[in-house]
Amino acid sequence: MKVMITGGGTGGHIYPALSIAERLKIEYKGIDILYMGAKLGMEKDIVPKTGVAFRQIDVAPLNKKISPKTIKALGVLIKGLFQARREIKRFKPDLIIGTGGYVAGPIVMIGALMGIPTIIHEQNAFPGMTNKILSRFVDRILVTFEEARAHFKHKEKVVFTGLPVLESFHTVSRDYARQRLGIAKDEFVIMTVGGSNGALKLNQVMMETYAALVEYPKIKIFHVSGNRYFENINEKIKAGQYTVGKNFKLISFMKEMPIYLNAVDLVISRAGASTINEIIAARTPAIVIPSPNVANNHQFHNAKVVDRNGMGIIIKEEDLNTELMEHTILNFYAEPSKLEIMRCNCDKIEHIKPLDAIMNEIGLLLKEHEI
């Protein structure tokens, strides 16, 4: 059997696709998988390292406002459609799976029009434009949040599966994680995560906030800045602009998220779909600050899942400031019982096995098409 998988632009699209690819290898011996990515996407650096076969096409975001950039992007899109058709004819997949991002559009669309069974997975509570368009043509629409169902016209195609995250988010124990990171039992630990690329305002406000918290020796901090902000922040620490103290650790990119999320008392993060699901899996209380710079404000819709279920609180970026963050953190520090309630509320979310549910839908679709 041959399966073509596509998704890119951010880790939130790439890592679920790779999780599905790895599970497919286990379920279907001798399977041939090809990952289709964008020539300028993050996937070009991530996917080849996994050993999954990888090819690329040209894609570009379409701006709703007519401009020279829009015309150029339209030309790239047309080119990408022809490239998608060429790659599909060459590989001859039995199934195509798209996990979002601009690259999924041409691949899944052409595949569906060619009569190939197609599946899309929507990570966000509010679907992106690409998946909304593709939903008219595909066989299955898999969703991470039940809230997404209402935004798709063809509800008979929609199946709630959840989002695949590493099993270790569920299984790493809090005691083991804290011991691994050298955290004392009486320390209050915070982690800040600004998404794959980091976040400018979040970095600025939190560095100022952590400098203000330096007088609290029992508060320990892990700050994940993102690669593009790491050097700048590090230089400011060395220059004494941020007096963060010895209980502060600056990290450029988080490679051991299951360990850190299970160890900390509180995470302050963006609201990407992967991050939200990892927070829920690790049962980590959260202050969620949705990015205002994403399509359809989908991070705010993701964040509302956390807020509505009592797993954390939302702070809008427009309200983000040092005084508010210092007050909020110290409030949790003084009343840790509030965080324990949030941990318990994480358990109320249905923890189905997303990959099991996704594999089930793949199996049903293949059976329908007698593959």
More confident residue, 105 or 10: 105
The pLDDT of residue 62 is above 80:
no
In this prediction, residues 121-148 reach a mean pLDDT of: 90
Is 312 assigned to a binding site?
no
Residues 101 and 149 in one domain: yes
> Residue 12: which pLDDT band, with cuts at 50, 70 and 90?
confident
Cβ count within 10 A of residue 210: 25
Residues 179 and 73 in one domain: no
Residues 143 and 46 in one domain: yes
Is 179 assigned to a binding site?
no
> Residue 225: which pLDDT band, with cuts at 50, 70 and 90?
very high
How many angstroms separate the Cα of 266 from the Cα of each of 203, 207, 218, 295, 330? 17, 16, 14, 27, 11
Residues 155 and 206 in one domain: no
The pLDDT of residue 72 is above 90:
no
> Residue 73: which pLDDT band, with cuts at 50, 70 and 90?
confident
Residues 335 and 189 in one domain: yes
Lowest-confidence range among 46-55, 119-128, 278-287? 119-128
> Residue 64: which pLDDT band, with cuts at 50, 70 and 90?
low
Is 245 assigned to a binding site?
no
> Residue 363: which pLDDT band, with cuts at 50, 70 and 90?
very high
CATH of the domain at 252: 3.40.50.2000
In this prediction, residues 90-118 reach a mean pLDDT of: 96
**Residue 290 sits in which domain range?**
168-346
Residues 211 and 278 in one domain: yes
The pLDDT of residue 70 is above 70:
no
Helix/strand/coil for 288:
strand
Q: Between the ranges 64-68, 155-159, 163-167, where is the mean pLDDT highest?
A: 155-159
pLDDT at 196: 65
Cβ partners under 8 Å of residue 151, min gap 6: 126, 127, 132
Residues 277 and 235 in one domain: yes
Residues 48 and 140 in one domain: yes
- Give the chain's mean pLDDT: 91
Residues 123 and 194 in one domain: no
Which residue in this structure is represented by tokens 């509570």?
125
Lowest-confidence range among 58-62, 210-214, 272-276, 335-339? 58-62
Is 12 assigned to a binding site?
yes
Domain count, the chain: 2
Residues 64 and 32 in one domain: yes
pLDDT at 145: 85
Q: H or E segment at 287?
A: strand 286-288
- pTM score, whole prediction: 0.76
pLDDT at 104: 93
The pLDDT of residue 233 is above 90:
yes
Q: H or E segment at 105?
A: helix 104-113
- For residue 285 the two structure tokens come to 């209380």
Is 10 assigned to a binding site?
yes
pLDDT at 112: 97
The pLDDT of residue 63 is above 80:
no
256, 106 in Cβ contact below 8 A?
Answer: no
Residues 139 and 260 in one domain: no
Can you tell me the distance from the alpha carbon of 243 to that of 175, in angstroms, rounded to the nearest whole number?
Answer: 30
pLDDT at 347: 84
- For residue 239 the two structure tokens come to 């220059």
Is 363 assigned to a binding site?
no
Residues 124 and 224 in one domain: no
The pLDDT of residue 96 is above 80:
yes
